[in-house]
Amino acid sequence: MVVQSNLSTLNHCSSIGTRKPATVLDSIPSINLKDLESKTHIMKACEEYGFFKVVNHSVPMEFIAKLEAQALEFFNLPQSEKDKAGPPDPFGYGSKRIGSNGDVGWIEYLLLNTNPQVTSLKTLTVFRETPEIFWSAVKEYIEAVKLMACEVLELIADGLKIEPRDTLSKLLKDENSDSCFRLNHYPPCPELQALSGRDLVGFGEHTDPQIISVLRSNSTSGLQICLKDGVWVSVPPDETSFFINVGDALQVMTNGRFKSVRHRVLANSHKSRVSMIYFGGPPLSEKIVPLTSLMGKQEESLYKEFTWWEYKTSAYKSRLADYRLGLFEKKNTPSASH
């Protein structure tokens, strides 16, 4: 993406904040997956932040390096070549526009379907337009990250004393799992940043609707999360580790005990940021309800019963910053804080 070609979008792109640096969160829970007490630490992190870092994971670093190299090769193609894989439907290549409801950001991306049972013409187009090595890098990376996501969900099940242990992870392993994978590229934007005097939004504030999201980025900063008190804090990058987000579906399944984390990405003035995110979702027909084993005798569900397809459809009709779970909360019970 060439900076000059996007100068005309300045008035339409969101900008927030000032040059004053954001608070840096130096106490992000860091979970060692080999630690025998990891389930306890994960529980605390999901309740307090809805977000944590995973270290000592099983994803080979060569998978990460290969995919990042292939992603950069794609994003460095001439714009006309990248456009052959778009516009997104929602899968495929997109630039600046995020969804179909007016959200924009300083970003270009590839959104790919990960379920071989579901045919996405745009996903197929992406791989027709790119070398076999790119397709191979995506597949091996997704397989490895999916395994890690399932391991995390099983540790969550252990911490919550959910039986059987694969109650959550089997939703990702299901052949009809509605999961997806996103490669984001945030180009540097020194000219626009200087003109506006503000931080440009790469990807606006939102929560992820799925069960769990697994994020990895390069060493460029930009990710911020919103704490319970409404304060936005910057997350120091760590290119060798992964960051886990609690999604809206997991918030509902724990009846609000875990909170889906609100997060955003600010563009960097001088360095490009590349991130890769696996979004672990259930089958479209899956009912999203609080797990029976977590409900006390007198406890009522905070949410109406709905399927993943119903929630996903509603989410796609909303703006990024909308509190999307609000439409599905029971009005006669105390709502989850937002």
The continuous run of DSSP H or E covering 107 comes out as strand 103-113
Q: Which residues contact 190 (CB under 8 A, 6 or more apart)?
A: 3, 269, 270
Angstrom distance (rounded) from CA 308 to CA 288? 6
The half-sphere exposure of 275 on its side-chain side, counting CA atoms within 13 A, is 28
Residues 100/67, Cβ–Cβ less than 8 Å: no
**Count of CB atoms within 10 A of residue 155's CB?**
21
Cis geometry, peptide bond prior to residue 29 (ω within 30 degrees of 0): no
Q: Which two tokens stand for residue 243?
A: 């960051």
Q: Establish whether 273 is a catalytic residue.
A: yes
Question: Among residues 216, 264, 273, 324, which one is catalytic?
Answer: 273
Amino acid, single-letter form, for residue 41: H
Cis geometry, peptide bond prior to residue 90 (ω within 30 degrees of 0): yes
- Residues annotated as catalytic are 273
